[in-house]
Amino acid sequence: MTSTAVQGIGVHVRAVTPTAARAQADFRALLNVLSRPGVLDVVGRTDGPAALAVAAGLADVEVPTAVLAAPGAEHWARVLHLATSAPPAAPAEARMVVALRPPTAEEIAALPRGDALHPERGTRLIVAVTGLSSQEAGERNVPGPQVPGPQVPGPQVPGPQVPGPQVPGAEGPGVVLVLSGPGVPGTRRLRVTGLAREVFAALAAANAGFPAGVDTFLVAADGTVAGLPRSTRIEIENGEH
């Protein structure tokens, strides 16, 4: 590798590596959305992909990690491994999978889920999406002081459109999820753009054997984040609401 290439990788590493204060604030946001499925919070913006910055705050040398990247963006996998020392792994063997491009239903189905005796072996999945919006008034979290970042989109306000692979559900009304289970009083509805409904159907199937399953973070380019823990029941609602 040339010195120019090394310098270029170094710039990318710095772009996705949060400060200690930022990492702590982001971790609180991730705990919030994982304990309150369907509620939106916000993580800090960086010069790199927001989903990768979230992963950089969670990965370490003991977390085998896979990165799913679009053609031409494979360098982000090396960036994450250099930034965190997380060992690279195939998705079927990873403890954390970072999808910078839309995963397929088949890829979701192949992720490790653990089992009833070893649920900790289930994958943590971080997925970049085009936009997130709450469908319930009053359900979004408002970032507190000293947590810089963009404001969370309000109800029925789609997130910004980011160029990317064209997939079903990436444009138009998106996919509306009806969520229920622990942490959800009744139900919550969450609109996601940038992922096909088949992905959520595969995720629901992967989590059908709770406590085995996959814990998921959805991360929009503007830093908006939502959590779908394996304990959450996911129903897919058609139509625009």
Q: Which domain holds residue 211?
A: 3-141+152-237
Whether 204 is in a domain gets the answer: yes
Residue 218 maps to which CATH number?
3.40.50.11310
Summarize the confidence of residues 120-130 as an average pLDDT. Answer: 96
At what angle are helices 50-58 and 75-84 packed, to 10 degrees? Answer: 30
130 within some domain: yes
Mean pLDDT of 62-83: 92
pLDDT higher than threshold 90 for residue 154: no
Closest CA to 73 of 96, 100, 94: 100
User: Tokens standing for 43?
Assistant: 């993580």
**53 lies in a domain?**
yes
Asked if residue 146 is part of any domain, the answer here is no
Which residue reads 């900790």 in tokens?
120
Q: Is the dihedral of CA 150, 99, 166, 173 positive or negative?
A: negative
Residue 63 lies inside a defined structural domain of this protein: yes
Q: Which pLDDT band holds residue 93 (cuts at 50, 70, 90)?
A: very high
Say if 76 falls within a structural domain: yes
How many structural domains are present in the chain? Answer: 1
Whether 147 maps to a domain, the answer reads: no
Q: How far is 6 from 16, CA to CA, in rounded Å?
A: 16
Look at residue 224 and tell me if it is in a domain.
yes
Share of the chain above pLDDT 90, in %: 61
